[in-house]
Structure 1
Amino acid sequence: MYRSIGALLVVLLVLVSCSNPNPNQIDYNITVTHKDSIDQLKVEMKFMPSQDGITILEYPNSAWGQEELHNAIKEMALEKVSGTIEVNKDSGWIVLNHPENLKELHFRYVLQQDFEKPITSRKTYRPIIQPTYFHLFSHNLFMVPKSAGESLDLVINWNGLGPKDVIQNSFGSQQKTQHLKTLPKQEFLEAIFVGGDFEVNAIPIKDNTVYLATRGEWVPFTVGDMKAILKETIIAQRDFWNDHTQEYFTVTMQPIYTPNGSSYQGTGITNSFATSFSNNEFMEVEQMVHLFNHELMHNWIGSIIKNENEEEQYWFSEGFTEYYAFKNIAKNNINEAGSTHFINEMNSIIRKLYNSPVFLAPNSEINYENFWASRDYANLPYYRGAVFAFYLDLEIRRLTDGEKSLDVVMHQILEDAREKDQKLNHDYFLSVMKPILGEQFQEFFNKHIENGEPLPLGDLFNKLAVDFSPQSDVFELGFTFNEEHKVISNVIEGSTAYMAGIRNGDKVISSNIWYGDIERNAEIGIERNGSTQNFSFLPVKKGPVPQIQNTDENLTKLGF
């Protein structure tokens, strides 16, 4: 009798469990399909809806500098029940009105690329759905019920793929069915999903695996180059942080169209980073080295060490990441770049900072709107933060006779982020720095980070006994383009552009400009009075911008 009652209780518990579905579970069934010769992704969802009959699905209309993302949604429908669908673009919501007290809701939507070819750097953060491949970030692929909470149980199935097609994402390689348990929603929404004609290479690193997913034939470098540099970078960075715990990591490389010059960008996200490179002769291996080292550093700075207010701490999450990218490359001689690389990169970033049109902008102006709308504001926290990190590194070395460096601070910040879930904010950063640099550091920080006043590098370099030159050539294009980038205006008399012959009103036919680079000629093709002309000039001027000298004494002070 005892055993029979026990068995009955087990059965009842199972029945109760089955009758109460998991409100955090979402099943996605995704099918690669074609309609009227147009490539699409059909997404079918199954989940527990809100019991009051109103379920909100989150799908941002604006994200990562992109607007009108809802344009990619071509169909939406409730299945098996009657109801209505409302779209609230301002909130980034899809509102489903359905019967109350449902245990399960079926919903379907279709995504389609909302722009014409070519794929350029400005389009890579939109859903890309092509005949032979797709490339999407999870926030513009998956709708997520607001009621599901902050920890999700997910099942993702892929259908409609060819026998040779690849599936690669932030959570697995070549898995057409994935079960993701207790996954934080934020990690899910900051992920990359690609598929189709990608080539996937597995790179073993100290009992863990990194996957490199690329598309097509590359002009500037081979897949072998990419694998070698990626492996060097990951080993060096994981050794720096004493962290080889990440069993899975994926890197995607998508070729983009750039008619003149080169362009490259990357985004560090959950268990992965996604990159885009110009696939032409202007792209150089050194640019790939820099991007890999910057973006992979976000595995720690930005992923584990999180900003409390995203843009407000970009001086740290982007600027300190930039500094440690330079340092990592040089310290580990990645791609045979050594200490000279570090000196050259720091001098370059000092020039870019002190020549920026928004050089004096306070930190409060580095906000979402400015960062995504303006190249100058987007670059400012990289430059300002990297130069600030460089100074702090030197100052800590000076005060401790070389026994400590900024590395000690970074390891403490990482430990606090892991052990205490500490977010990076200004008060916390000051609390870490004051025991090393004293109470007066708060005034220094407020002046040069909060208020944006320039560091007096000449005076600081003198205090630090760093050999430097007091002035240098700095980048000056010498004119501006109109908004459409088709006409030249505001040519500066006496500039190298003016002396080369460029004038206001010239119509732009072609341009190849390495912004911030004082060693490469700018190439401009124009039309004037019915005839075409080509100009080549070095876009520089002299400026009172200090530059570090490449001496043995300096390299010793820098820890090389």
Structure 2
Amino acid sequence: MLQRAFPILFLVILIVSCQQRPKADVRYEITSVLVDSLPQLRVRMSMPADSSGVTMLDFPNEAWGQKDLYNILGQMQLLNVEGAIEKDLDSGRVILMHPKEAKQLEFEYHLKQDFDGDLSTGRVYRPIIDKTYFHLFSHSFFMVPKTVGDTIDIALHWTGFPENYTIHNSFGSGEREQFLEDMDRDLFGSAIFVGGDFKVLKGDIHGNRISLATRGEWVPFKEEDVFQVLEQTLTCQRNFWNDHSQEYFTVTMQPFAQETGSSFQGTGLTNSFATSISNNDFTEIGQLVYLFNHELMHNWIGHAIKNDNEEEQYWFSEGFTEYYAFKNIARNKINGLQGDYYVQEINRTIRDLYASSVMEAPNSEINYDNFWNDRDYSKLPYFRGAVFAFYLDQKIQDSSNGEKSLDDVMHQIYRDAFTKNQKLEHDYFIGVMNGYWEGDFENFFHKHIIEGQKVDLAGLFEELRLDYEPMSDIYELGFEFDGERKKIERVVEGSKAWEAGLREGDEVYARSIWQGSIEHQVELGLKRNGEKFQVAYYPIKKAEVPQLKPTASNIQKLGF
């Protein structure tokens, strides 16, 4: 009887196995391996072959500011057919040449870390494959064949990892078998994958899963406190937009060593946000409160509400995001921050705008080249847009006796983006604002956004009877580095840098600069005529910059 039953039992197991592994366009089997005693990830692919005999796989050699990504590729081989493999650096593709009659290809490649030493800000976007963990972005992890369309059924099989080894990514947590149905290839190409000694904190908002994946021992804060900030931020933002449609969202947080100063980077990805943060006493949880609130707000401003012409509308996608980060934090008392925080951040943004060397540059100068290559231009839409949003918010509230605010404008723009696929372009924005503005908004918009003239903040404060100081300290570094940032090329005579003793030609062997901050001293280790010395000064100068007083009366009038 056992002999008769065995074929039936085998058939049942086979059927169940097939049901557990649905048909996929592309299958990836990922395994941790050692090659010459060094950790690598082995990826085995199963995919349709191109009938031409040439199957091309997308895998960029340059991406996200990283060059020579092909250095991470180890051994590659076709497993089921004879053929050849080429790397095309210019096109960012790996090319498989095989018999034309082949219908399916089995292909294997290895990934390795291509740098030694500690993680740093310049390396956080390169693949990290360590003995204890891995941290990769999908564009430098998974090769995607051109033979499949814009949407793909993808199967991911994580095999050979220890039982206590965390598997966590933009599509799930703790899942060794993942099936991504009808996956947009661009969304798949913008994802984070981590594994190893990561600790995952989990929760939910209205039944939707959220998580924080982090590793190491943090010096400045506890993971639980960070998760609480994340949970508060997502809850308040989703409530503001009345949007609880995202079933899964994760933040990954990777520490790196840095001796002085703080540094953090964040990247918004599919269902996720990836951060790398300096792990020292200079880093504060308040920086994460801002980082989460700004970057996660981009789920709506910049993503759901898309710019019609990217850089042209950065005043909105970056500036209004900045403003609503401050407003969301204060309104919901995230991490205990309230109305005085809102006033503090509005004042700081005003100072930053007035300190900018391109403060009144026309909007047309915020183009691709300037934005990505000049720090002053890259920050201008943040400052200008946030101050503009603040001005509009206060004017709308005042003219409507508090019945309406900029929130109503944002909700209308979001509804139109969702229901009509409306993009954010200037004529559309003017049309929406005409329903909330007293007077000629088109002329006002043209003057302050298109031409770049600053809004009359002193006039606004007086109109709203807000107490303010007409003068303020603003940021002035007071000197310029040479191209290699190893020497002082120019010093502004009369500046705090000049008063501290800085002179043209001084060699720089150490520095600590909080760019844009007037609360932190600039500290420089210098060498002149072979003698070493140090200088420290606050990078400030006095200017006509209106600043709100953080009084209880002002905070109440501003709605907090």
Residues 1:382 and 2:387 are matched in the alignment: no
1:78 is displaced (CA, Å) by 3.4
Q: Which residue of 2 aligns with 1:124?
A: 124
CA distance in 1, matches of 2:312, 2:35: 44
Q: Which residue of 2 aligns with 1:161?
A: 161
**What amino acid is aligned across from residue 71 of structure 2 in structure 1?**
N
Q: Which residue of 1 aligns with 2:8?
A: none
CA distance in 2, matches of 1:422, 1:454: 28
Q: Which residue of 1 aligns with 2:251?
A: 251
Instruction: Point out the more displaced range, 174-183 or 75-84.
Output: 75-84
1:387 is displaced (CA, Å) by 1.5
Instruction: Point out the more displaced range, 510-519 or 210-219.
Output: 510-519
Distance 1:394 1:36, change over 3 A: same
Q: Is the 8 A contact 1:402 1:557 kept in 2?
A: no
Q: Which residue of 1 aligns with 2:114?
A: 114
Q: Is the 8 A contact 1:49 1:55 kept in 2?
A: yes
CA distance in 2, matches of 1:350, 1:97: 59
Q: Which residue of 2 aligns with 1:52?
A: 52
1:161 is displaced (CA, Å) by 2.3
Distance 1:129 1:376, change over 3 A: farther
1:220-267 CA-partner distances (Å, limit 9, x unpaired): 111122122222222222221222333321111111232320011212
Q: Which residue of 2 aligns with 1:275?
A: 275
Q: Which residue of 1 aligns with 2:533?
A: 533
Q: Is the 8 A contact 1:65 1:372 kept in 2?
A: no
Q: Which residue of 1 aligns with 2:73?
A: 73
Q: Is the 8 A contact 2:50 2:103 kept in 1?
A: no
1:422 is displaced (CA, Å) by 2.8
Q: Which residue of 2 aligns with 1:13?
A: none
**What amino acid is aligned across from residue 489 of structure 1 in structure 2?**
E
Residues 1:238 and 2:238 are matched in the alignment: yes
Instruction: State how 1:159-558 maps to structure 2 within 5 Å.
Output: 159-437=159-437, 440-462=440-462, 465-558=465-558
Q: CA RMSD in A?
A: 2.6
Distance 1:534 1:193, change over 3 A: same
Q: Is the 8 A contact 2:49 2:105 kept in 1?
A: yes
Residues 1:41 and 2:41 are matched in the alignment: yes
Distance 1:76 1:383, change over 3 A: farther
CA distance in 2, matches of 1:438, 1:97: 67
Q: Which residue of 1 aligns with 2:138?
A: 138
CA distance in 2, matches of 1:25, 1:438: 56
CA distance in 2, matches of 1:70, 1:373: 25
1:553 is displaced (CA, Å) by 4.9
CA distance in 2, matches of 1:25, 1:457: 58
Q: Which residue of 2 aligns with 1:12?
A: none
Distance 1:499 1:433, change over 3 A: same
Q: The residue matched to 2:250 in structure 1 has which SS?
A: strand
TM superposition score normalised by structure 2: 0.89
**What amino acid is aligned across from residue 53 of structure 2 in structure 1?**
G
Distance 1:120 1:23, change over 3 A: same
Distance 1:46 1:335, change over 3 A: same
CA distance in 2, matches of 1:444, 1:94: 52
1:355 is displaced (CA, Å) by 1.4
Q: Is the 8 A contact 2:24 2:155 kept in 1?
A: no
Q: Is the 8 A contact 1:397 1:557 kept in 2?
A: no
Q: Which blocks of at least 5 consecutive residues in structure 1 are unaligned?
A: 1-17
Distance 1:306 1:43, change over 3 A: farther
How many residues of Structure 1 are paired with residues of Structure 2 in the alignment? 540
CA distance in 1, matches of 2:204, 2:515: 37
**What amino acid is aligned across from residue 391 of structure 1 in structure 2?**
Y
Q: Which residue of 1 aligns with 2:3?
A: none
**What amino acid is aligned across from residue 146 of structure 2 in structure 1?**
K
Q: Is the 8 A contact 1:262 1:280 kept in 2?
A: yes
CA distance in 2, matches of 1:125, 1:393: 37
CA distance in 2, matches of 1:212, 1:271: 12
1:364 is displaced (CA, Å) by 4.1
CA distance in 2, matches of 1:482, 1:207: 54
CA distance in 2, matches of 1:426, 1:91: 36
Q: The residue matched to 1:42 in structure 2 has which SS?
A: strand
Q: Is the 8 A contact 1:23 1:48 kept in 2?
A: no
TM superposition score normalised by structure 1: 0.89
CA distance in 2, matches of 1:365, 1:477: 23
Q: Which blocks of at least 5 consecutive residues in structure 2 are unaligned?
A: 1-17
CA distance in 1, matches of 2:539, 2:108: 54
CA distance in 1, matches of 2:118, 2:109: 25
1:151 is displaced (CA, Å) by 1.3
1:203 is displaced (CA, Å) by 2.3
